[in-house]
Amino acid sequence: MEILGVIIATGAVGAAFFYTILPIMRPQTAQGVLPDEDSAQPLTDREVTRLLMEREQAYKNIMDIEFDKEMGKLSDEDYDQMMTPARARAVGVLRRLDARGVKEGMAPVRISEREAAEAAARLETKRPPTEKVAIEKPHSLDERLEAEILRYRKQVGKSPVELADPPSDEQAKSPKPRFCASCGNAVSQTDNFCAACGRQLS
């Protein structure tokens, strides 16, 4: 009996040790334990990481403001005061990400390009044509923000405000962000000068 016990214990322990060293003997079994360098964001790029985090927070912030408004915790005035800089901040982050060549939907908001295109197309069809402005496609960024937030909601599984239908075009347009005509930086409704280039805003 004692011998049998030793044999069974040795067998179990041997199997565990063999399983442990298997990846060292056959490195092909170890695939997928390290992030794929091509698709993952390089850890050294701290700035991009920071921007992506900031973008995620900007979206969450917008959703929270909408929720608080719907729950009656924000007056119309407070809502406008908080939403305008919140949207401007999100647009600013998107622009800075664009400048670094970061693709839409990249982590931490993981949404496929196809979903992004579909959401943007849906908004395009709903939205009346906006007047052309001299600055570098500000309206496309605004729309992209709408689309991104919509997709973000889809990703985190929350409908807008989790209460009502998605905001109508009228609602979505009301706190329209402003941009500096000189450098394209996002500015808040109350700014008189651009924080980036110092130009007086009209």
Q: Which among 35-43, 117-125, 176-184, 185-193 is the span making contact with another protein, rule CB under 8 A?
A: 35-43
Binding flag, residue 156, another protein (CB under 8 A): yes
- What is the pattern of x (binds another protein, CB under 8 A) and - over residues 99-128? ---------x--------------------
Q: Which is nearer to another protein, 13 or 121 (CB)?
A: 13
Q: Which own/partner pairs from 93-100 qualify as long-range (CB within 8 Å, at least 24 positions apart)?
A: 93/51, 93/54, 93/55, 93/58, 94/55, 94/141, 94/144, 94/145, 94/148, 95/141, 95/184, 95/185, 95/186, 96/51, 97/48, 97/51, 97/52, 97/55, 100/47, 100/48, 100/51
Binding interface with another protein (CB under 8 A): 1-2, 4-6, 8-10, 12-13, 16-17, 19-24, 27, 29-35, 40, 43, 46, 49, 52-54, 56-57, 60-61, 64-65, 68, 70-75, 77-78, 82, 108, 156-159, 161-165
